[in-house]
């Protein structure tokens, strides 16, 4: 399984609808609206590395309202259990 994090900048008019369109794409496991320089974060999970291009350059970047993207392919994935332990340090 290959995982990627895709940062998405959107046109202002697309902010209210683009999140749902991102989440509906095959291969997009989750889509978040976020604050800061980027408007959305899409988590892409595909069985084969080659499928990233199909999802990201073949579909995601072609959605109406997408201005630009930045893709980061994950080297290592940590389980939810590991993440919960990491963020609970000091509690």
Residues near 41 by beta carbon (within 8 Å), at least 6 away in sequence: 5, 6, 7, 8, 31, 32, 34
Q: How far, in Å, CA of 11 to CA of 78, rounded?
A: 33
- State pLDDT tens for residues 6-57: 999 999 999 999 999 999 999 999 999 999 999 999 999 999 999 999 999 9
- Set out the domains of the chain in order of their start, with CATH numbers: 2-87 (3.30.70.920)
User: What is the three-class DSSP state of 48?
Assistant: coil
pTM: 0.84
């Amino acid at each position: 399984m290959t995982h990627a994090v895709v940062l998405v900048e959107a046109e202002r008019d697309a902010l209210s609808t683009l999140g749902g369109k991102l989440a509906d794409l095959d291969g997009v496991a989750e889509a978040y609206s976020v604050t800061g320089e980027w408007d959305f974060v899409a988590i892409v999970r595909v069985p084969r590395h080659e499928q990233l291009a199909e999802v990201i350059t073949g579909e995601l970047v072609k959605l109406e309202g997408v201005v630009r993207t930045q893709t980061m392919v994950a080297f290592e994935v940590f389980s939810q259990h590991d993440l919960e332990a990491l963020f609970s340090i000091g509690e």
